[in-house]
Structure 1
Amino acid sequence: MRSTFVVLVALALSVSAFPFTSPSAPHLSTSVARRQDNTTLAKLPQYDPNRKARAAAVAVRNEGFIYGPSLIGEAAFFPNGTLGNARTAHDMDVWTLDREMIDVFVAQDVQAVSAAIAANGGLKSLDDYAKVLYEGQWVNSNPRGTAPGIMTNYTQDLLFSMERLSQNPYSLRLLKRNEPLPFQVEESVTSKLAGTTLRDLQAGGKLFFVDYSWQSNLTKSTLEPLRYGAAVSAYFFLHPRTNDFLPLAIKTNTGADLIYTPLDSANDWLLAKMMFNVNDLFHGQMSHLVMTHDVTEAVHQAALHTLSEDHPIMLILERHMIQGYSSRIVGEWLCFNPGGHWDQLMLIDNIGCRDYVTDTWPTLGRYKANYLHTDFKARGLINEKGKYPFKAFPFWDDASEIHAGYKAFFKTFVDSYYPTEAYIIGDYELQNWFVEATKNAKSVNKETLVEVLTHFGFLVSVGHHALNGGDPVGSKATLPYHLPAIFAPPPDTKGVTDLLPFLPSVKQSIHYIGFIATFNRQFYEKDKRTLMNAYTDDPLLARLNDATKRGAQDFFTNMKALSDKIRARTFDSNGLSNGLPFVYRTLDPDFIPFISAV
């Protein structure tokens, strides 16, 4: 069986664990099938003077890396065989070094925040959740703190709606003009909120939709404390007069199946948004597993079977796959094990997570269809020219700039090694890689190769860390607003007067934040393991040609400029930053890693 760029078959999950000290890892050999000390320049196989020896080495790799059964759902193969087992053991050893560091930081922070909560007499209000749990806390594991505005403005509707255009844009889509409306909202409500009807908003290309109703079919955790939730669907719209992007309605799709709108009481509407965030958190964390870890590991596994370790493309892939095969092992070992941290904290249990992976692999596992521009255009968020209809689209602005940086680098790289298409045709290892991955090498040309490599680099960095990594602990997974579950059943009627019963206990809150904090790798900036440094200061990359090295310097310069721009962001006179009531800094190239770090 083989992986594929169309429906890629790969692996992994970016989920960390949470005892605050790592369990003793099994003894793992650090032996890998790579010549770490090789300083010879990389070259295409047709120009290698030792072609027979090179082919023999590739054959050994092909025999030693076996496609094993998928982990965490039926999606992607996992490396087995002599070399596959050595590689995964090595990656776990590398992961353990990083994880031991962050565990120490989290343990220190848990002690400090526990003392602060005790001194406060517990968590007695929503403000306590926002202030006592966070202000001056988590300074070791999350030294940059929470995103400015995220804790003070979380009740604003603009924050809720604009999170769809920043924190998680992957579930939002434009409702097409001729499709049936998913649910109805009273015309008097839409008239007050939008000055028009749902149908008119839809006809004008101004009605957007997020559907999480499918989550009702996934199994829920039964561990104590009992957790609850909805399976919401929601409308967002562009206001016909102001063009502001705003929420319109949230439908629970469970229990009494209520429809909430901003015209409801403050408590009812805030609870509805919190229930939405429970579903959104699940979607962000689980979809990132499929569309980043699984996909990139599939591409890399195909390369392990076909590309020499002296191939320039292999050097690039290896750079981005440092500790890459640790993720699903960590997921099976500490997160999605029965009764593990996911079962203890979240609404949907480990079985539901595995079912989600299996169900979504045929779509989220597609390669070309999920290119940045292709995906966002298909969902109506940009047009053919890459322009968006919103006043601001913070995710797109930063992500597309990074994407352009990758594309420029890889164009330089491909042009330098493949001056003409004849070089592509002559590279039989490259041809074999595409056959291994797609069963078809006829489509490979210079343009295709640039796109494939660009998407690969984008997925392991932006695709992964837009949803996971170190950002959630300071933004998209912050209490009291971004909940892993609600802790009382969804109401049968409107008129909630107290939101505290829906919030996690002190113990659950600390567990949740600590768990999310273990994803962070704040020391990567000092260690130069951030996206900005993806192609600098590495012995493997020193083996690449001079043109690629110049392209790498240009990439660094461009990413440094974007990082400086993001770090300079602040609020304007209207209390907004890039159209948001909080400072969006998720995709800072000197914060996010160039690998899918777990």
Structure 2
Amino acid sequence: MLTVVQTVLFAPGTVVDQIFPYTGQSAQDYTTDRYKNKGSGRFESNYFESELGARGLINSNVGPALKSFPFYEDASTIHDAIERFMATFVNSFYATKKAITRDAELQAWVTEAQGPAEAIDFPSITSNGDLIDVLTHIAHLASTSHHTVNTNELIDISSTLPFHPPALYKPIPTRKGIKNVANYLPPFNQVLTQFAVGALFARPKFVGSKRALLHMFDDPNMLDRMNPKTRKAAAKFKKDMQAFSADVSGRTFDTDGLSQGMPFVWRALDPNVAPYSITT
């Protein structure tokens, strides 16, 4: 997967060089620095609401609260549903706190994550709540976090300028007084390249398929090994996500020309469109 990404996106003369104001190498350097040194790679500190709070996007003591936040609104619905499933799964398996700490395989996994795997800020797991949080966050990273800016979202939403970073084809201005923002938009040929790249990442065959997010826990082979409470929780998750998908796909503008308080219709996290895992 990494080799494909490096070859298609970051190699000299390829996608990032063509459609961003910075080079592929600059993008790799920036991302690596953000991950290792600037907090982006921290596991526990970047739990869903903790990360948004640290950025001042929710629960901020500075300035007014955001009046509209479509990502948070939709991601919260999915995140809460994932957390409910994980709570049932974990609590129905580990009857006591001691059961967690005595699970040798689980604790060996934690030791590896905190040690040889070099996972940054990976927590100790000494209670059911700890494990629920970890599993929920892993599912969030692979679904609602990743697919907000990837796969089917790219060509459908982000490629509609100005909702994506390639909309800026020059470095961000460092002074005020810029009167012609069109000078910062990409030339026509680069726009076509952006659309082509967005289409390259799309997974249209996943829409309405078993790979869609609403089927995250809908795996007969897995569920056959689970207890009745977990199987019931999986069915509840699927039902809730089907209902949420109907809400998202049915969105349109209200009488004020707004959707979710915004001047655009945002459907990036439709559970019947977004995949439930990172794809190749």
Identify the TM-score tier after normalising by the shorter chain. 0.7 to 0.9
**Greater Cα shift, 477-486 or 488-497:** 488-497
Contact kept, 8 Å, 2:146 with 2:278, in 1: the verdict is yes
Choose the corresponding residue for 1:463, options 145, 156, 181. Answer: 145
Shift in Å at residue 349 of structure 1?
0.8
Q: Deviations over 1:228-259 (max 9, x none)?
A: xxxxxxxxxxxxxxxxxxxxxxxxxxxxxxxx
Structure 2 CA distance for partners of 1:410 and 1:519, relative to 1, 3 Å: same
The TM-score with structure 2 as length reference comes to 0.86
Q: 2: CA distance between counterparts of 1:450 and 1:378?
A: 21
Unaligned runs of 5+ in 1: 1-325
Output aligned runs, 1:229-268, within 5 Å.
none
1:486 is aligned to 2:169? yes
Shift in Å at residue 538 of structure 1?
4.1
Higher Rg:
1
Shift in Å at residue 591 of structure 1?
1.0
Letter in 1 for 2:27: C
Choose the corresponding residue for 1:569, options 241, 251, 257. Answer: 251
Contact kept, 8 Å, 2:20 with 2:169, in 1: the verdict is no
The TM-score with structure 1 as length reference comes to 0.42
Letter in 1 for 2:206: Y
Greater helix content: 2
Output aligned runs, 1:202-221, within 5 Å.
none
Shift in Å at residue 417 of structure 1?
1.1
Contact kept, 8 Å, 1:432 with 1:441, in 2: the verdict is no
Higher relative contact order (CA 8 A, sep 6+): 1
Q: 2: CA distance between counterparts of 1:595 and 1:449?
A: 20
Contact kept, 8 Å, 1:345 with 1:508, in 2: the verdict is yes
Structure 2 CA distance for partners of 1:557 and 1:508, relative to 1, 3 Å: same
Letter in 1 for 2:74: D
Structure 2 CA distance for partners of 1:375 and 1:541, relative to 1, 3 Å: same
Please list every run of at least 4 consecutive aligned residues from structure 1 whose deviation after the TM superposition is greater than 4 angstroms.
Answer: 439-443, 480-483, 487-498
Structure 2 CA distance for partners of 1:495 and 1:352, relative to 1, 3 Å: closer
Unaligned runs of 5+ in 2: 116-121
Match of 2:239 in 1: 557
Q: 1: CA distance between counterparts of 2:132 and 2:171?
A: 50
Structure 2 CA distance for partners of 1:536 and 1:346, relative to 1, 3 Å: same
1:476 is aligned to 2:158? yes
Q: 2: CA distance between counterparts of 1:506 and 1:555?
A: 44
Choose the corresponding residue for 2:196, options 514, 522, 541. Answer: 514
Letter in 2 for 1:412: T
Contact kept, 8 Å, 2:52 with 2:58, in 1: the verdict is yes
Match of 1:342 in 2: 16
Match of 2:46 in 1: 370
Structure 2 CA distance for partners of 1:441 and 1:521, relative to 1, 3 Å: closer
Letter in 2 for 1:351: Q
Structure 2 CA distance for partners of 1:482 and 1:464, relative to 1, 3 Å: closer
Contact kept, 8 Å, 1:369 with 1:375, in 2: the verdict is yes
Match of 2:118 in 1: none
Shift in Å at residue 399 of structure 1?
0.9
Shift in Å at residue 545 of structure 1?
2.5
**Greater Cα shift, 337-346 or 574-583:** 337-346
Q: 2: CA distance between counterparts of 1:556 and 1:364?
A: 31
Structure 2 CA distance for partners of 1:491 and 1:475, relative to 1, 3 Å: same
Provide the secondary structure at the position in 2 that maps to 1:551: helix
Q: Deviations over 1:528-556 (max 9, x none)?
A: 21110111144244332222111110110
Contact kept, 8 Å, 2:206 with 2:275, in 1: the verdict is yes
Letter in 2 for 1:455: H
Provide the secondary structure at the position in 1 that maps to 2:201: coil
Match of 1:450 in 2: 132
Choose the corresponding residue for 2:26, options 352, 366, 383. Answer: 352
